[in-house]
Every structure is written in C-alpha cells, then in structure tokens.
C-alpha cells in the first residue's frame, strides 16, 4: 500500500472524527476498506512470489535437463520447454490479472489457476519422468494461490449484455474452468507434435484450441453464442479424441473426452434456461461455491502429492519410461 493512500486514509479518519457525531459507522467502514486493501495487497505480493517460484522451476527444468534419474531418457529439453510453456504462461497471466478487482477478471484468474492445478495433478499421473520439478511446483503454487483467493467476494453483477440467468451461475464458473484447462491441454499438445507427419495433428489441436478460446471469450461475457460454441466445441473434441484423430494415448483420449462430456452435461440446465423456460429479467450473480472449492482443492493437492511420491519410486518410473 502506498504512502499516499495511507495519508489520505488518515486524513479521512480525522475529518470524519471531527465532523460526524456517529463515529462508529464511518470508522467501521474505513476499517473494512483498510482491511480489504491490505488483503488485496497481500494477495498480489503472494501471486508475484508464486509466479517467480514457477518460473524458476521452469527455467531449472529446461536449463538443467535432465534432472538426474527422475527424468526419462527420451525427454528432450525442447520437449520440456514446449510442454511447460503453455501451463506456465497461463499461471503467470493469472498472477498478473489478480491485481484487478473486477469480479469477472477474478473468475478468469480462478479458471487459470484451477486449470494449472488440474494440469499438474493429471500430469503427475500420466507424464511421469517429464517435468519432475515443474509439475509439483505448479501444483503447490496453484493450490496456495487458489486458497488465498477464497476470501475474495464474488457476489456482484455480471457484465452488461449477458444472458439473463440467475440460477446455474456456479455451472458457468465450472464450465469456464474446464474450458481453460482444455485450451491449455490442446495448445501444449499442438506444440509437442514434432514427429514427422504429425503436422495434421498439430493443426487439429490448434484449431480446437482457437475455437475454445473464442467460446471462452463469449462465456466469460455471458453471451449465449459463447455458451453454445463451448458446447459444440466439446462435442467435436470428444468425437475427435475418441476417434483417435487427436493422436493421444487411449487412456488420455478417454479422459479428455470425459471432461468434454462433463461440460456438455453441465450445459444442459443452461440450455434449458436459454430456451426461455427459466429465463429471468435481471443479470445473474456469481457465487463461488466455497463449501465445495476448498475440499476439492485439498483433494487435488493430496492426489498430486501422492502422484509425486509414486513417480519418485525407481521401479515405477523405469517401467513408465520403458513403456512410453
């Protein structure tokens, strides 16, 4: 907090104390404002420190490759750079945006950090020996960041022009989180299709990612076309993944198609509402489901920690490196 702000705050306290007979109300309001400003400043500093931690882990993963026996022999420095670049960029972008207090910007911050958390958790299970330092660091940093954001209020009106929904606002947030995670996965996959003859797969991933980005922009602004585009894109992604046209491992293809199916299922109540049967006249409010977010956060971190321990077992890592 700047010295100028502290000076103005002290002057306001003095003015209210000398002119207002009801000192309790103004003093309480000033104290609340002061507490919010200080809390926001702490979150900004924490986000900057977490970004530095993630960037250092990323740099070490690339420059000091391979990191001993914890990295598979077939993993190249270029592969580490390309695989980690998208996820690190998403985390750092969220850390920059955390300074903005607009609610929908804060939702995007949460979506990016949840995406980083999911990517790290899944990567620790499916990509053993690829990023043994970056993935646990990203998992820890995302968890700490999301935990610190839990105190920020999100009960404000949505952007002007959004579709008129009051119910199902939590579903919009969850869809936004999954959509951002899909974009990061698709972009990372597009960058890592470096084998001969894999240009078609890379372009397919890139086209899907760009389509999802456009849909996210619309969903972020609560536009009906954005919601529809996200649902249609997920239908296409699920079909491509199950049809083997994304060139993913069978297990990961099923997982990717499952997340797409979840988003489609979440969109059914919104689809009914958009049809007019459950429409409301005023803009929706956003209420982050705190009672579910922190248990899910703890569960994701716990699973990621267990996956990190599992990946550290020499026999498990050797078997994975040999089979991949």
pLDDT at site 118: 82
Identity of the highest mean pLDDT range in 80-94, 202-216, 231-245: 202-216
Position 110 pLDDT exceeds 80: yes
Mean pLDDT of 149-156: 54
Q: Is the pLDDT of residue 244 over 90?
A: no
Domain range for 279: 3-323
Q: Helix, strand, or coil here: 157?
A: strand
Residue 307: CB atoms within 10 Å: 21
Give percent above pLDDT 90 in the chain: 8
Q: Give, to the nearest 10 degrees, the angle between helix 77-97 and helix 103-126.
A: 160
- State whether residue 194 is helix, strand or coil: coil
pLDDT for 13 equals 53
The pLDDT assigned to 19 comes to 42
Q: Could you tell me the pLDDT band of residue 223, with boundaries at 50, 70 and 90?
A: confident
Q: How far is 165 from 227, CA to CA, in rounded Å?
A: 12
3 has pLDDT over 90: no
pLDDT value of residue 98: 87
Q: Say if residue 289's pLDDT is above 70.
A: no
| Total of domains in the chain | 1
What's 285's DSSP letter? Answer: B
Instruction: Please give the residue that has the higher pLDDT: either 13 or 171.
Output: 171
**What's the whole-number mean pLDDT along residues 164-180?**
70
């Amino acid at each position: 907090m700047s010295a100028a702000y502290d000076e103005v705050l002290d002057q306001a306290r003095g003015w209210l104390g000398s002119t207002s007979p009801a000192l309790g109300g103004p003093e309480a309001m000033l104290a609340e404002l002061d507490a919010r400003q200080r809390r926001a400043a702490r979150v900004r500093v924490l986000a900057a420190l977490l970004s530095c931690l993630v960037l250092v882990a990323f740099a070490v993963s690339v420059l000091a490759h391979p990191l001993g026996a914890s990295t598979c022999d077939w993993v190249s420095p270029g592969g580490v750079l390309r695989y980690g670049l998208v996820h690190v960029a998403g985390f750092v972008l969220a850390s920059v945006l955390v300074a903005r207090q607009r609610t929908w910007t804060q939702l995007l911050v949460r979506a990016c950090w949840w995406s980083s958390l999911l990517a790290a958790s899944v990567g620790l299970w499916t990509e053993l020996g690829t990023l043994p330092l970056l993935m646990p660091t990203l998992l820890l940093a995302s968890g700490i960041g999301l935990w610190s954001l839990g105190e920020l209020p999100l009960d404000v009106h949505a952007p002007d022009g959004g579709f008129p929904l009051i119910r199902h606002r939590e579903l919009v947030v969850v869809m936004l989180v999954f959509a951002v995670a899909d974009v990061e996965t698709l972009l990372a996959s597009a960058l890592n299709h470096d084998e001969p003859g894999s240009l078609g797969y890379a372009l397919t991933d890139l086209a899907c990612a760009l389509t999802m980005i456009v849909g996210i922009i619309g969903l972020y602004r609560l536009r009906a076309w954005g919601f529809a585009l996200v649902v249609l894109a997920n239908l296409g992604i699920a079909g491509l993944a199950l049809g083997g046209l994304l060139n993913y491992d069978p297990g990961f293809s099923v997982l990717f198609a499952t997340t797409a199916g979840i988003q489609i299922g979440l969109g059914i109540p919104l689809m009914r509402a958009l049809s007019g049967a459950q429409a409301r006249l005023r803009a929706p409010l956003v209420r982050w489901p705190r009672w579910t977010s922190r248990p899910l956060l703890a569960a994701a971190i716990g699973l990621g920690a267990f996956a990190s321990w599992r990946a550290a077992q020499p026999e498990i890592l050797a078997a994975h490196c040999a089979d991949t």
